[in-house]
Structure 1
Amino acid sequence: MKKKIIIIICLAILLLIFLYFRCIYGWYEFKFYKETPREYISNTIVTKKDYSTDSTAIVHQIKGFVKNHQESFYSEENDGSTQIILDTILYSPDHKKIAAFIISKNSTTKQLMPDKKNKWYYNATCYLGTKQQNSLILSWIGPNYTSNDVESISKRIRNYYLKQKSSNTQNNKDNYNIDDIRYWSKSIDWENLEHNRKMQKDFEEEKLRNPENVYDPNDKK
């Protein structure tokens, strides 16, 4: 009898620990993510020339976002001294769509509460892009991660998009990792992307027609 009571108590403790980490910390460290099925893993290959050309175009466009405080770089901490690191580019099978993992590097002196133990801090996020003729249009989809270690944040953004994304129970419509060939045609990310671009286009047109009715936080006084 005593042995059964001990077993029950141990099981209860384990259950409480599970619920604690699951509810408070999201169970990130212990969750078993859904790997992309082998038959759906994307093995898209691009030439070094195309990768280099796209890298240049992506970094150039991202620097424009930094300068104008657009997309994920809306914060004032992003300025001319912000360094951009292009971590990875992933391609759709037809090469018409891309996903880019972007890491920005800033001095900790820019923080509201500067970290005196570290000189730099890094932000990582993801941008999706579509190629139209000779142009590449990028849009931010997130999420954002912050760290004082560039290798750690690189692993974190990769882990999310290559493992964790398909395990996101908060969005049942989006159950594909980014290395899944189905992601490029079936993910809700692309639908949201087009919707946001249309809203931005409508906003810009309304701004031209009736500027007095439109507030744009990016406008300089």
Structure 2
Amino acid sequence: MKNTFLIIITAVIIGLTFYYFKNIYGWMEFRKNTDTPVQFLNKTVTKREDYIKDSLKISAQLKALLLQHEDFFNSSEYFDGTDIIIDTIIYSPDFNKLGVLVLTKNPTSRQLMPTENTLWYYNATSYLGTRQGDSISLSRLGPDFTNSTDQQEQSNYIREACFRTFVSKDTTKKYAYKYNLNDIRFWTCTVWQKIEEDKVKKREFEEEKIKHPENIYEPPKQ
């Protein structure tokens, strides 16, 4: 009788645990969306000198956005003394598409509520790039992480998000992220189509600003 009772209790606990991870914690979905299969890992590596050149080009573009307080750098916390750190660049096999993980380094005095006993804090985001001749066109991707006083910790956060858990929960949508950035299949997914469509929309928006500025509303920068 005692053994039967223990078996029933054990079965109930296992059942509740499975239900929790499947329907509440999201373990089944998390496992589905985590870790690129080994056979699809992107192993493309560029020459060191080319990597450095691309890093400098990308840093210059991001610095220009920062000084204009545009895109990821909309906040007034960014200023000409903000350091931009290219954490990682991932390349497509033909080197014409890139994924860029970016960190920023700011003095804690720029924080709304400055962290005590430390000098610096770090934010992180990611961009996608397309190569056009000698230039690289950047599009913001995300996700964003802010206010870490540990550079390596912030680097780990953005890498985890882009390389392990980037896949969308709902991959049925047209522009859903079906693959992580370190997946070789990422370079042919629909996100690149969306980038091109967004570029067209941006050009149209800029043209409308020039021709009919009265029709344009832009939210104030922070």
1:204, distance to aligned residue in structure 2 (A): 0.5
| TM alignment of 1:85-104, pairs within 5 A | 85-104=85-104
Contact 1:104–1:123 at 8 Å: present in 2 too? yes
Corresponding residue for residue 216 of structure 2? 214
1:163, distance to aligned residue in structure 2 (A): 1.5
Q: SS state of the match for residue 153, structure 2?
A: helix
Q: SS state of the match for residue 88, structure 1?
A: strand
**Partner Cα separation in structure 1 for residue 40 and residue 16 of structure 2:** 40
Among candidates 195, 200, 203, match of residue 201 of structure 1: 203
Corresponding residue for residue 155 of structure 2? 154
Corresponding residue for residue 185 of structure 2? 182
1:12, distance to aligned residue in structure 2 (A): 6.7
The reply to whether residue 191 of structure 1 matches residue 193 of structure 2 is yes
**Structure 1: which 5+ runs fail to align?**
none
What are the superposed Cα offsets for residues 36-95 of structure 1, whole Å, 9 maximum, x if unpaired? 233322221211221111111000000001000111111111111211111011111111
1:203, distance to aligned residue in structure 2 (A): 0.8
Q: How has the CA–CA distance of structure 1 residues 169 and 32 changed in structure 2, closer, same or farther, with 3 Å as cutoff?
A: closer
Amino acid at match of 2:140: W
Amino acid at match of 2:166: K
Root-mean-square deviation (CA), in Å? 2.6
What are the superposed Cα offsets for residues 136-181 of structure 1, whole Å, 9 maximum, x if unpaired? 1111111101222110111121122222123x32344422111222
Q: How many residues align?
A: 213
Could you state the TM-score of these two structures normalised by the residue count of structure 2? 0.83
Q: How has the CA–CA distance of structure 1 residues 31 and 108 changed in structure 2, closer, same or farther, with 3 Å as cutoff?
A: farther
1:21, distance to aligned residue in structure 2 (A): 6.7
Q: How has the CA–CA distance of structure 1 residues 11 and 38 changed in structure 2, closer, same or farther, with 3 Å as cutoff?
A: closer
**Partner Cα separation in structure 1 for residue 180 and residue 46 of structure 2:** 20
**Partner Cα separation in structure 1 for residue 23 and residue 151 of structure 2:** 30
Contact 2:69–2:78 at 8 Å: present in 1 too? yes
**Partner Cα separation in structure 1 for residue 24 and residue 116 of structure 2:** 30
**Partner Cα separation in structure 2 for residue 87 and residue 201 of structure 1:** 30
Q: How has the CA–CA distance of structure 1 residues 179 and 8 changed in structure 2, closer, same or farther, with 3 Å as cutoff?
A: closer
| TM alignment of 1:47-66, pairs within 5 A | 47-66=47-66
Corresponding residue for residue 40 of structure 2? 40
Determine what percentage of the aligned residue pairs are the same residue. 37
Could you state the TM-score of these two structures normalised by the residue count of structure 1? 0.84
